[in-house]
Amino acid sequence: MKNTLTALAGIAALTSFGSYAQSNDYSVDESGFYVGGNYGYLRVEGEDDFDDDKDVWQGLLGYKFNEWVAVEGSFIDFGDYGNDIAGGDTDGYTAAIKGILPVTDRFSLYAKVGQLWSETEYNLGGISSDYDDESLFVGAGLSYAITKNFLVNAEYTVYDAELDADEAVDDIDDTNFETDLKQASIGVEYRF
């Protein structure tokens, strides 16, 4: 009788452990929707360093087709940059296709390419105006699955923006310049 109880207890323990191990499977290769957010720093081409006053906030919504491909849309606020004499505030919407390379059950690398639709509000010598732009972007990052549904990521993205103050403020000459907005961010993602 004692051997039977010991055998039943052992079987129950193995069954419980097997269920626990399956519930902690970190593979994130299923399809479905996800939401997330990123926080980071912005570098405007021509400045030497990331500046902690240039916060970048991004909220995103995506759909993962399989373990390799997803589509993603976001709203992004690049924050303020420049100085009191000439500065800008840019925000916009993005749409991207995301390629994913699973490295382990928890780690994956990814790359994005997409389109940014942005609006920049300029302040040039006390004169304010807006400028709308469309530009391409590329990005790459690393994801880590804390659980099957909750991930953290680190990402670097370059937006090929054209900041055109000449069109925004017609009175000023020779203010058309192109720049890259460079974003380094960390974020979270929740998969449904």
Q: What is the value of pTM for the model shown?
A: 0.71
Q: What is the pLDDT of residue 53?
A: 58
Q: Is the pLDDT of residue 138 over 70?
A: yes
**How many Å apart are CA 92 and CA 131, to the nearest integer?**
12
Q: Is the pLDDT of residue 109 over 90?
A: yes
Which of the two residues, 132 and 157, has the higher pLDDT score?
Answer: 157
Give mean pLDDT, residues 55-62.
Answer: 94
- Report whether pLDDT(33) > 80: yes
pLDDT recorded at residue 123: 78
* pLDDT of the residue at 79: 79
* Mean of all residue pLDDT scores within the chain: 77
Given pLDDT bands bounded at 50, 70 and 90, which one contains residue 107? very high
Residue 189 to residue 33: CA distance in whole angstroms: 10
What mean pLDDT is predicted for residues 39-49?
69
For 27-191, CATH number out of 1.10.10.10, 2.40.160.20, 3.90.1150.10, 3.40.50.620 equals 2.40.160.20
Query: Using CA atoms, how far apart are residues 64 and 31, in angstroms rounded to an integer?
Result: 5
**pLDDT > 90 in the chain, percent:** 44
| Burial classification of residue 149, based on how many CB atoms lie within 10 Å of its CB (0-12 exposed, 13-18 middle, 19 or more buried) | middle
CB–CB of 160/177 below 8 Å? Answer: no
* pLDDT at 75 (0 to 100): 97
pLDDT at position 48: 44
Mean pLDDT of 49-60: 73
DSSP string, 128-171: EEEEEEEEEEEEEEEEEESSSSEEEEEEEEEEEEEEEHHHHSTT
3-state secondary structure of 103: coil
Instruction: Please indicate whether residue 172 or residue 40 has the higher confidence score (pLDDT).
Output: 40
| Rounded mean pLDDT, 115-134 | 84
Which comes out higher in pLDDT, residue 48 or 188?
188
Taking residues 38-53, what's their average pLDDT? 66
Average pLDDT of span 108-137: 87
Q: How confident is the model at residue 179 (pLDDT cuts 50, 70, 90)?
A: low
